[in-house]
Amino acid sequence: MSEVTTGKQQLGVGMVGYAFMGAAHSQGWRTAGRVFDLPLEPRLAAVCGRDATAVRSAADRLGWAAAETDWRALIARDDVQLVDICTPGDSHAEIAIAALDAGKHVLCEKPLANTVEEAEAMVEAAERAAARGQIAMVGFNYRRVPALAYARTLVEAGRLGALRHVRVTYLQDWLVDPAFPLTWRLEKDKAGSGALGDLGAHIVDLAQYLTGEHLTGVAALTETFVRERPLLSGSSAGLAGEGGSGTGPVTVDDAALFTGRLASGALASFEATRFATGRKNALRLELNGERGSLAFDLERLNELAFHDHTTDPAEAGFRRILVTEPQHPYLAAWWPPGHGLGYEHTFVHQARDLVEAVAAGKALAPTFADGLQVQRVLAAVEESAQKNSVYTPVPPL
């Protein structure tokens, strides 16, 4: 695939991992400079994966100039100034720290790591790198949905007043079938956790981003509904068997349900599950404040519902804001009003923001410290769920 050359100084990007998330990131890097007037030109220098044939095919398909089979070799390339990490969580810390120590900027997919200790080490490396002018960012792409970025401006402007409630759910159903194989996302040593880290990380980050507050305490329940699954041929779990025959244990949660309290005293509730039959990627949230409320549904991601509680009660209620106007975040560069964007555009916006931050030499949220804060919440949820005692109500007299 040919590259567009603008004559600008280039920012060479090297990406580790090329599956679903790698494809989404590639779309962002390919497109950002074609839509936005960027100070640097992103160049897709090299992509890395363990299988030489598969990664070369991915490079050709996704638009990368070269392919590597060792992430250390990718980091060492002179034409790579930014390393984009799209691998399972068990490798995030090692790759990110090595890249930062080698003088590279880093974008790391969420959740930042598999443990708080790994995340803390990554933050320390990011702080060392920041002194040299390097950027380290975690990829919470939903912050780059224009409607959610606009929602943040409404909260910052005080349109909701003092917050009372935050409700967030992220529902999927791709694990309902017990015959679905034991992929890496179902193994704790690779994924860290299940729905909690995969989906819960997003909704914890969004709650803290939109409110501008940290969670100060949580109480949780988690459950694994299917505890054994067929081994995936060729997976690490399947190597001990005959071509992946038999079953293996699921070592992560299938669902997490927890409540929390924000620093202001506002109450929050969260649900993350991959067992909500009929729900494919249903991320929904609502914030209620003394002066108003807002609500968002990812399945209608160009819309924001807003209620202004200071208006005449006779006309009160939620109204639909179509977030496609040029004054809304990111949208001046896109289509005429009313022409909606989609999921993939969040990665374009992420790439745009990161390129501009690198050019300006300024930190960009969500930082690794933000990722660590989310990791601490996830760890607290797991600890609460493990220690939780279920009390039987006293029967009526």
**Domains of the chain (ranges, CATH numbers):** 10-141 (3.40.50.720), 146-300+302-340 (3.30.360.10)
CB of 75 within 8 A of CB of 104?
yes
How far from chain centre, in Å, is Cα 299?
17
Per-residue confidence of the chain (397 residues) as pLDDT tens digits? 445 566 899 999 999 999 999 999 999 999 999 999 999 999 999 999 999 999 999 999 999 999 999 999 999 999 999 999 999 999 999 999 999 999 999 999 999 999 999 999 999 999 999 999 999 999 999 999 999 999 999 999 999 999 999 999 999 999 999 999 999 999 999 999 999 999 999 999 999 999 999 999 999 999 999 999 999 875 443 333 334 579 999 999 999 999 999 999 999 999 999 999 999 999 999 999 999 999 999 999 999 999 999 999 999 999 999 999 999 999 999 999 999 999 999 999 999 999 999 999 999 999 999 999 999 999 999 999 999 755 556 676 6
Backbone torsion region of residue 260, taken as left when φ is above 0, otherwise alpha when ψ lies between -120 and 50, otherwise beta: beta
Spatial neighbors of 66 by CB under 8 A, at least 6 apart, are: 45, 46, 47, 59
Helices assigned H by DSSP within the chain: 20-35, 52-62, 71-76, 92-101, 116-130, 146-156, 188-191, 195, 201-211, 345-360, 368-387
Q: Is the pTM of this model over 0.85?
A: yes
